[in-house]
Amino acid sequence: MTLFNEQEQELIANTIEEAEKVTSGEIRIAIDKHCPGDALETAQKYFTQLGMDKTSLHNGVLIYLAYEDHKFAIIGDSGINKVVPPDFWETTQVAMKAHFAGGNIAEGLIAGVSLVGEKLAIFFPSNHDDINEIPNDIIYMNNHKPNN
């Protein structure tokens, strides 16, 4: 069993593509079934593992979700953290939680990606020569095993 059907996966990837049209930032979603520790620490580990810290402007964002454990985190690279207020991700997290609480995981991720794009566009608007540095597809991580 997969978490998202083909249509939902495509919609999420398209939402990332659309969000990245208004910002030079790079957005990625990483999914686990379980997160044995702290979601933010796990997200930080995956951020580096996925090369999100290698973008040219250091403005990558990882949305991490461990769906069975009801944990998630949003992490931005150093270029973002230098210019945004400390509560920058708070409204995005609140919007995502509202969808997740209703069992709408795909809609929560879509809302989160859209808000991340809007918020990043303020500090990192799209450049005419912007290239897509990070794939837009969902990545399933180490702790995502369909049968565990």
Q: pLDDT per position in the chain (148 positions), as tens?
A: 468 889 999 999 999 999 999 999 999 999 999 998 999 999 999 999 999 999 888 999 999 999 999 999 999 999 998 998 888 889 899 999 999 999 899 999 999 999 999 999 999 998 777 777 787 788 888 765 444 4
Q: Return the structure tokens found at 79.
A: 């270029």
* Cα distances (Å, whole numbers) of residue 16 to 19, 37, 111, 143: 5, 27, 10, 23
pLDDT at 69: 93
pLDDT at 3: 83
pLDDT at 147: 42
AA identity, residue 22: V
Model's pTM, two decimal places?
0.91
pLDDT at 143: 61
> Residue 140: which of 148, 132, 129 has the closest Cα?
148
pLDDT at 1: 43
Sheet holding 26-32, edge to edge: 71-76, 60-66, 26-32, 139-140
The alpha helices in the chain, defined as continuous H runs, are 6-20, 39-49, 78-81, 90-101, 105-123
Q: Count Cβ atoms below 10 Å from residue 109 Cβ, excluding itself.
A: 25
All domains of the chain, ordered by start, with CATH?
Answer: 6-140 (3.10.310.50)
